[in-house]
Structure 1
Amino acid sequence: MGSHPPRHVMLGLLIWTGSLPLGPLMLSTASSCNFPAIFNFGDSNSDTGGLSAAFGPAPSPNGETHFHHPAGRYSDGRLIIDFIAESLGLPYLSAYLDSVGSNFSHGANFATAGSTIRPQNTTKSQSGYSPISLDVQSVQYSDFKKRSQIHRSQGGIFETLLPKADYFSKALYTIDIGQNDLTAGYKLNMTTEQVKENVPDMLGQFSSAVKQIYAEGGRSFWIHNTGPVGCLPYSLDKFLITAAQIDKYGCASPFDEVSQFFNQKLKEAVVQLRKDLPQAAITFVDIYSLKYTLITQAKKFGFEQPFVACCGHGGKYNYNSARRCGAKITVNGTEVVIANSCKDPSVRVIWDGVHFTEAANKWIFQQIANGSFSDPPVPLKMACHRKDHP
């Protein structure tokens, strides 16, 4: 609906829930970076078609708002990574695993929905988690870098579809992963404390992947922390949660506590990475604060029913793990979609019980672009500049 987006625009600049100073333009004397490419690593929060290419497409009505057809994204439209690409004047990222119609001249996306930092000891059919964990993604990146230059040197179509050699050192490296590692523990009936005990190992493997990318020439990193898992319909529906564990807004406190613990340790890992990788510019982005604020204060920003999935089937949250967005049943020999989209996704926060709508993703991007939720507080377009930390 054309009348809704303006209500979301810029409103978030009036809020502040994190601990960072609201002074994003601190590098005012520095010039904007010229990022010729983006290489992305992560899970469904930034997957632009990886899981779809490997295991079958995200079904309609995914993609209905912007692409008007399924586009490999678990949303009605664009993701934060799409808005990042747009803002840098770059095309949307093709998934590394997608062999049809892909253009890697300005980067590649190694993320797949369901990815974790740590490899899972289950198959996708058992747990729903992708086998393309972060270590696999970093190996794919290394292989892509090497092979792309071999083929690009052959000229012709390869020269137009693959990145130039110097793009790898000049590119922006975006990472958004970790959420699935936390829920994986709960699926194995771990307690909150047991999940927390696994976080140091998760972040050890995370740091190893960043160091490998750095060794391959990556220098500018834009790292998102993880969102409030306890505010997602998926968590509220699937896991055993007592009334006492629900906060005043409706989120499950234990799950959000784990997310915050992970984020605290991730920030500490980033501080260490800055010491270990002296030529890297590493920006840590507080996605958690924004997602929590948007969900818990949705009405203030022009959104409705923040705990109810736009696309789903039944129940308190319009979420059913057995009948997710796009699910069909056969009636008298005809397939009928029973988990359809809501009337107006532009005023909804959660798309399918797990992922965010395009409108929510756009709102979040508008808050992070100027550096207000970043450490150091540098705008996206200046994320190639290092800042000395004490």
Structure 2
Amino acid sequence: MLFFRILLVFILIVRVKCVVKISQDCNIPAIYNFGDSNSDTGGISAALYPAGPPTGETYFGIPTGRASDGRLIIDFIADRLGLPYLSAYLNSINANFKYGANFATGGATIRRQNESWFQNGVSPFSLDVQVEQFDQFKSRTTYFYNQAKNESDRSNLPNPDDFSNALYIIDIGQNDLGACFRSLTNPQCIATFPDIMRDFATAVNQLYNNGARAFWIHNTGPFGCLPIATTNHPNPEPGYFDELGCRKDQNDIAIEFNTQLKDKIIQLRTELPYAALTHVDMFAAKHQLISDAKNQGFEDALSYCCGYHKNGVDIWCGNKAIVNGTEISAISCPNPSKFISWDAVHYTEAANYWIANHIVNGSFSDPPVAVSQACRKSYTI
């Protein structure tokens, strides 16, 4: 009997030690982000035409290049890790890269597109270009850091030792789907996915070969639930929309895209022995919010705050146009916090805050680790 009591105590001690080990956070000194407008903190605005008001009105008070009324999910992730908001790599004004850099640009895709920003809003900075920019960023900042004569000269530069301990976030893919829906049939769209996944894997491999180890990878959200996808369909066929009012075919394709992305991440885990790759199911997180919008304090889940999208006419947030002889101003709503969608494509700060709070603790992650523990490969005891 005494033996079993001792054994029980030993098991409890081991479990307690394991829990302590599991709960330990990583030392994440910086974030390097790659993506599209869902996480762009000013890149495309610095490179091309700056986003104007009313973007930024809720939190910053001025436009900052974010496609929202305020902060993005990436901003709330930085908050969770105790880091400043990321400066866009392409923004040379008042930028601070000591704690990382943001290479995301609005309109960016994984696969290079034969389109332009001026044609369909496609960024020239696709994922492969962003990774090349990171390579140059690391090389040049390391050179200047080592050449600096004092700490003040290094104040805005990353410590070269931090690159291997940084968190590498990848949040991209929505625009690859958008490009498909513009020009391809649904089967043709799906046929492009293997090539897109190869391009994605190439980018991850390049980052890994340049020292990246901790990856936090978002899949793409429910495209068919974006208001821009659900508007202007006066006579839909039966089954066109699902029970939430989302476009079923587009969500089905997004699910297939995410399935192939997850399979590729699983493959990369076997190929990159020192990498910790966390897959974050943004589709599930966003879909949960949309499904429970009113209980979470939001109005109609598929409406939007800023813009005009009616009768085949699209006037984007902050712009004006003449419609049937009348000037229409696409201004923001009185209370953006009551809406999930800011401009029919992107999310409001309130929605971004809700989503961020539900992903940073690992609830939608595989493996189920919090963002603060994303450097750990496994929790298997």
TM-score (norm 2): 0.89
Structure 1 partner of 2:199: 205
Alpha-carbon distance in structure 2 between the residues aligned to 1:221 and 1:27: 23
- The 3 A distance-change label for structure 1 pair 67 and 337 is farther
Match in the other structure for 2:15: none
Q: Please provide the CA RMSD for this pair.
A: 1.9
Task: Output aligned runs, 1:356-367, within 5 Å.
Answer: 356-367=347-358
* Structure 1 Cα separation of the partners of residues 232 and 36 of structure 2: 20
Residues 46-57 of structure 1 aligned to structure 2 (within 5 Å): 46-57=39-50
CA change 1:337–1:257 in 2 (3 A) is same
Query: Per-residue deviation at 1:290?
Result: 1.3
Structure 1 residue 233 displacement after superposition: 1.3
Deviations 1:188-237 (A, max 9, x none): 1x111111110111010001000000000000000001000000112223
Q: Quick check: 1:297 aligned with 2:292?
A: yes
Give CA-to-partner distance per residue, 1:37-72, whole Å, 9 cap, x none: 000000001000000001111110000111011011
1:233 and 1:308 in contact (8 A); partners too: yes
Equivalents in 2 of 1:314, 1:236: separation in Å? 10
- CA distance, structure 1, for counterparts of residue 352 and residue 163 of structure 2: 27
Q: More displaced, 342-351 or 234-243?
A: 234-243
Q: 2:341 aligns with which of 325, 331, 350?
A: 350
Q: Distance in 1 between matches of 2:289 and 2:225?
A: 11
* Runs of 5+ unmatched residues, structure 1: 1-25, 331-335
Which of the numbers 10, 25, 30 marks the counterpart of 1:32?
Answer: 25
C-alpha distance in structure 2 between counterparts of 1:296 and 1:138, whole Å: 35
Deviations 1:92-145 (A, max 9, x none): 000000011100000000000000001111121112110100000000000000
Report the secondary structure of 2:343's partner residue: coil
Q: Distance in 2 between matches of 1:241 and 1:117?
A: 34
Match 1:223 to one of 201, 205, 217: 217
- Alignment match, 1:11: none
8 Å contact from structure 1 (residues 222, 282) kept in 2: yes
Q: 1:67 to 1:241 in 2, by over 3 A?
A: farther
Q: Which residue of 2 aligns with 1:256?
A: 251
1:282-361 alignment runs, 5 A limit: 282-313=277-308, 315=310, 320-321=313-314, 323-328=315-320, 338-361=329-352
Query: Is residue 2:169 matched to residue 1:177?
Result: no
Letter in 2 for 1:29: K
Of residues 65, 74, 90, the one that matches 1:72 is 65
Moved over 4 A (4+): 238-241
Q: Matches of 1:274 and 1:27 in 2, distance apart?
A: 24
**Pairwise CA distance, 1:293:** 1.7
Q: CA deviation at 1:158?
A: 4.2
- C-alpha separation in 1, matches of 2:206 and 2:117: 26
2: CA distance between counterparts of 1:239 and 1:133? 31
Mapped contact 2:304–2:342 kept (Cα < 8 A): yes
| Code of the aligned partner of 1:213 | L
User: How many residues matched?
Assistant: 355
Contact 1:50 1:72 in 2 (8 A): yes
Say whether the 8 Å CA contact 1:312–1:320 is kept in structure 2. Answer: no
Change over 3 Å in CA distance of 1:320–1:286 after alignment to 2: farther
Instruction: State the partner residue of 1:103.
Output: 96
Q: Read off the aligned partner of 1:269 and give its amino acid letter.
A: K
Aligned-pair identity (%): 50
Matches within 5 A, 1:106-117: 106-117=99-110
TM-score, normalised on structure 1? 0.87
How far is the alpha carbon of 1:313 from its aligned partner?
2.1
Decide which of 172, 176, 181 is 1:186's aligned counterpart: 181
Q: Distance in 2 between matches of 1:314 and 1:286?
A: 29
Amino acid at match of 2:43: G
Partner residue of 1:83 out of 71, 76, 81:
76
